[in-house]
Amino acid sequence: MAKIIPFKAVRPTRAIVGLVAARPYQSYTVDERESRMDYNPYSFLHIVNPGYKYHKAIHGEERYKLVRNRYLEFKEDGVFIQDEKPSLYVYKIVNRHGQEFNGIIAATSAEDYEQNIIKKHEDTIAKREQTFKTYLQTVGFNAEPVLLTYPDNDIIASIIKETQKNYAEFEFTMTYRDTHYLWKLDNEKAINQVQNEFDKMKTIYIADGHHRSASSFLLYEDEKNKNTNHNGSESYNFFMSYLIPESDLVIHEFNRLIKDLNGLTKETFLIKLDYLFRITNRGSIPYTPSKPHHFSMYLDGEFYSLYLRKKRYKFNTALDQLDAELLYKTILQPILGIHNLRNDNRIEYVNGRHEMITIKSSVDSGEFKIGFGMCPATIKQIKNIADEGLKMPPKSTYILPKLRSGITIYEF
């Protein structure tokens, strides 16, 4: 029952796609952004940061209008061209660690989002949703797909594999040494087969892009209510997504760094921990947990393992089983006094691609007092939480692949 449709993507030309493609705007430091824009006139950053042209920071709707102008200039200059025929796009990423991701870029249904066929597992911030909705309405395009995942499907996998035997429309490597490939799938029979397989799926899941999908849904509601001739086929009924099978997802954890012990001495803190955890001092050797409900802790120059005393903690929901929630409910909130994981400036997050030595360095520097490591969530946990209508704490997962902006663009 999940609906996907082909669309006429706006794409960079083959010769310069590697120059156009960019990471999400917020992932760059100011110096990185300016350096890339100084030396690369084709970077998509020029579109999303139009104030660069005037050496001035521009905000709000004035910025959105200039984003629209820069985008149209890229089209007028032939940097972007639009496909003549609606297509699905087979997309492959091979990162520097040899991890491979294969999926399909398509337009997915805002109505499916509304009806919970596209399921969520993270909370969104209403203000950010509204801000991005206004942005979308003004600029008229979506340049970064939402990452969705679906149960492994042999028919879809075979169509992807068969398509990849053809000459790729794009093949380029980014400075992060990720190599990207894109094939256009415009064969109607193959498109219908893919659509039929998705139509059999009761649910698919958002892996990354909760705010983008929520904002696209708000755009759909606005435009539908304004259009007296609405029929469901308009472009605003859909948003661009990259759909990959569950087995291709790579899920890392986010580890936690805390700036103080909430006024407690080290000894008092450890005594409070002992009620719910079996604590073992591991000395100076970095310890990484290998099982759910086991945690690593670094404090005062030493690593500790924390094993949950399960007889003293009840698991009532799928969310209770999640280590990020467990750490919050047993240590961060009741002992360290951190109630708002999103806004408390005493906590910071380090994605699990970095080893525990990063936690050690951050604490040893004196910037933080204590650090915690955990095991990553599984796709099964994420799905169970979404199926129960629950939401994970902020920074519970760091999910790969990370997508680039400006490679395929969906116009409203």
Residues 10 and 103 occupy one common structural domain: yes
387 and 360 co-located in one domain? yes
How deeply is 40 buried, as exposed, middle or buried, from its count of CB atoms within 10 A (0-12, 13-18, 19+)? Answer: middle
Quote the pLDDT of residue 27: 85
Q: What's the average model confidence in pLDDT over 149-176?
A: 96
Using a pLDDT cut of 70, give the percent of the chain over it: 100
Domain that holds residue 149: 4-250+401-411
Indicate if 357 and 389 belong to the same structural domain: yes
As a 3-state breakdown, the chain gives helix, strand, coil percent values, each rounded to 5, of 35, 25, 40
Based on the domain organization, do 245 and 270 belong to the same domain?
Answer: no
Question: In this structure, are 282 and 165 located in the same domain?
Answer: no
Based on the fold, state whether residues 388 and 406 are members of the same structural domain: no
Q: Which amino acid is at 126?
A: A
In whole angstroms, what is the distance from residue 177 CA to residue 381 CA?
31
pTM over 0.85: yes
265: left (phi over 0), alpha (psi -120 to 50) or beta: beta
Structure confidence at residue 24 (pLDDT):
86
Which structure tokens are listed for 303? Answer: 């690593």
Q: How confident is the model at residue 203 (pLDDT cuts 50, 70, 90)?
A: very high
pLDDT (tens digit per residue) in 17-26:
999 999 988 8
Claim to verify: residue 382 and residue 245 sit in the same structural domain: no
Cβ 130 vs Cβ 217: under 8 Å:
no
Q: Are residues 270 and 200 in the same domain?
A: no
pLDDT tens digits for 103-138?
999 999 999 999 999 999 998 888 999 999 999 999
> Do 373 and 351 fall within a single domain?
yes
Strand partners, 170: 182
The arithmetic mean of pLDDT across residues 181-195, rounded, is: 98
* Number of domains into which the chain is organized: 2
What is the per-residue pLDDT across 385-399, written as a single tens digit (0 to 9) for each? 999 999 999 899 999
- If asked whether residues 97 and 29 sit together in one domain, one would say yes
The pLDDT assigned to 57 comes to 86
Structure tokens, 336: 């360290």
Query: Could you tell me which residue, 174 or 150, shows the higher pLDDT?
Result: 150
Claim to verify: residue 294 and residue 216 sit in the same structural domain = no
CA distance 90 to 173: 17
What does the pLDDT read at residue 287?
93
Average pLDDT over residues 363-373: 97
Work out the mean pLDDT of the chain and round it to a whole number.
95
Looking at the chain, the whole-number percentage of residues with pLDDT higher than 90 is: 88
CATH assignment of the domain containing 356: 3.30.1760
Residue 180 has pLDDT above 90, yes or no: yes
pLDDT, residue 310, reads 87
Backbone angles phi, psi at 339, to 5 degrees: -100, -35
238-284 pLDDT tens trace: 999 999 999 999 999 999 999 999 999 999 999 999 999 999 999 99
* 158 shares a domain with 24: yes
Structure tokens at 4: 């996907």
Sorted by sequence, the CB contacts under 8 Å of residue 121 that are 6+ apart come out as 205, 206, 382, 383, 385, 386, 390, 391, 392
Residue 403 φ then ψ, to 5°? -95, 165
Angle ∠(396,398,401) on CA atoms, nearest 5: 150
